[in-house]
Amino acid sequence: MMKAKRQPIRTCVACRNTDQKRKLMRIVRLPDGSVTFDAKGKLNGRGAYLCTTAQCITVAEKQKRLERSLKSAPITKEFFNLVLQIAEQIELDDAERSTKIAAPGSGIGDSV
Ligand SMILES: [Zn+2]
């Protein structure tokens, strides 16, 4: 239990909470100046991290946290809408995964 693998810890630009990189979305400013969502966390460029919560995404949008962190041009509403959709999908995938982990095998006869 104590021997968790060391993983990169990142800070959400909105709430300043830290989390394992896996649980934060990486937004990156590419060398050409455009800003995009980095699904794999491997794109070159300046990165900023956001929780997968609507609250943090909204704070980032309203307070221009991503623009400040990335030193980018203003980010469009459409981009934030896309990020919101991605966040929802990540949360859904996560819920599905933990359900599977909680009920391995057939699941028949497992008590809750
Ligand atoms: Zn956050």
Per-block average pLDDT, block size 10, for the chain (112 residues)?
69 90 87 94 94 96 98 97 96 87 58 56
Tokens 């943090």 -> residue: 56
2 C-alpha vs ligand 1 centroid, how far in Å? 25
79 C-alpha vs ligand 1 centroid, how far in Å? 17
Length, in residues, of the chain: 112
In a domain, 1, yes or no: no
Question: What is the structure's pLDDT at 86?
Answer: 95
What is the C-alpha to C-alpha distance for residues 73 and 7, in angstroms, rounded to an integer? Answer: 31
The residues near 21 (Cβ < 8 Å, ≥ 6 apart) are 7, 8, 9, 10, 41, 49
106 C-alpha vs ligand 1 centroid, how far in Å? 36
Structural element, H or E, at residue 54: helix 54-62
In a domain, 109, yes or no: no
In a domain, 110, yes or no: no
In a domain, 48, yes or no: yes
* Residues of the domain holding 93: 9-101
In a domain, 2, yes or no: no
What's the number of domains the chain is made of?
A: 1
Instruction: Give me the helix-helix angle, 54-62 and 77-102, nearest 10°.
Output: 160
In a domain, 4, yes or no: no
The CATH number of whichever domain residue 32 belongs to comes to: 3.30.1230.10
